[in-house]
Amino acid sequence: MMNTPIQPAMSVILVTPDTYQTIRQVISFLQAQTVKERLELILVGPSKAVMQVPEQEFVVFQHYQILEVGKLTASAAARVAGIRAASAVVVVFLEDHTFPTHDWAECIIQAHEQNWAGVGPVMLNANPNSMTSWANILLAFGQWIDRQDGGLCDRLPPHNTAYKRDLLLSYDDKLDTWLDAESIMQDDLRQKGYQFYFQPKAKLHHLNISKIRSFIIEQYTGGRLFGAARCTSWSWLQRGIYIVGSPLIPLRRLPELLVMIKPARRWKQLMPHVLPPLLLGLVVHSFGEMMGYAFRAGRAKEISTQLEFHHDHHLSIRDQNWGIQNGSKQ
């Protein structure tokens, strides 16, 4: 009688636009996970020849796959390839600049034993020495920074959330478009009756872009992609209303962001020094959003994909000495 292979508890999808070296540090954090023997690792990149993957480093995992997708022009398409190849019920994305604490995977897997569509982690700042870094992480992950209270949540951190694989596959050939604006996809799933869970025991350190020029480009392209994805089915009248109203977006978002600083226990550390880069980011993002409503995405996807990788190349001088202990820092 043949033994039935045990299915991995979770498939971890990592994308590199070039070599294995780009994601090697993240892999070392996965190797330190308390449930590494229950994980499937899926590496997505241009080719095995380019990536130069040392496969002997993956023997600690239950299973691994290496997918060749050619030149990377859109990270969402690469993640879709990983989702389709995954063998676990739960799939999670990690970026080359996100570093999980040692029990991150265990906590995510435990939460996903319930019927949640997605489970998301606490986001921690991996390079906290500059105010631009803080502005960046607040704009991207404000409501999930250093939080201790878990439970039902309307949205979860984009690019770092674990989903039930079959729900993602239900988007069929349009999945990459939905993943370009993950928060909108989460809204769509919630409208269909699915629920999300915020798991405060699972923690990820996130390395944030903090060079001003790179920060501005990142905010603009992010806003433009969001606006373009949001207005896909809108009439010109509705798009016009949002184009005219876009300059008001910073006035609406700033109070929300300031409220988020207090649960993160950072008010004294950040205020008022974080306000200039925070306001800059809000204005640039809203301008990008307006351009997305007016002219769609343009080249924003291509430029945004380039900035999704190698965040360590886009750090201010104050953040150059960042560092996290492998898998153990809380």
- pTM for the structure as a whole: 0.93
**Angle 219-180-264 (CA atoms, 0-180°, nearest 5)?**
55
Using an 8 Å Cβ cutoff, are 231 and 139 in contact?
Answer: no
- Strand, helix or coil at 272? coil
Three-state secondary structure readout of 71-120? CCCCHHHHHHHHHHHCCCCEEEEECCCEEECCCHHHHHHHHCCCCCCEEE
* pLDDT score recorded for residue 329: 41
* pLDDT score recorded for residue 264: 64
* pLDDT score recorded for residue 148: 86
Task: Encode burial over 248-263: b for 16+ CB neighbours within 10 A, e otherwise.
Answer: ebbeebeeebbebbeb
* pLDDT score recorded for residue 267: 87
DSSP secondary structure string for all residues of 201-217:
EEEEEE----SHHHHHH
* pLDDT score recorded for residue 85: 98
Domains and CATH numbers, the chain: 10-130+144-206 (3.90.550.10), 212-318 (no CATH)
**Cα distance between residue 260 and residue 277, in whole Å:** 16
DSSP classification of residue 60: T
pLDDT truncated to tens, each residue of the chain (330 aa)?
445 568 999 999 999 999 999 999 999 999 999 999 999 999 999 999 999 999 999 999 999 999 999 998 889 999 999 999 999 999 999 999 999 999 999 999 999 999 999 999 999 999 999 999 999 999 999 999 988 889 999 999 999 999 999 999 999 999 998 998 899 999 999 999 999 999 999 999 999 999 999 999 999 999 999 999 999 999 999 999 999 999 999 999 999 999 888 766 788 889 999 999 999 999 999 999 999 999 999 999 899 999 999 999 999 999 998 987 664 444
**Cα distance between residue 195 and residue 211, in whole Å:** 36
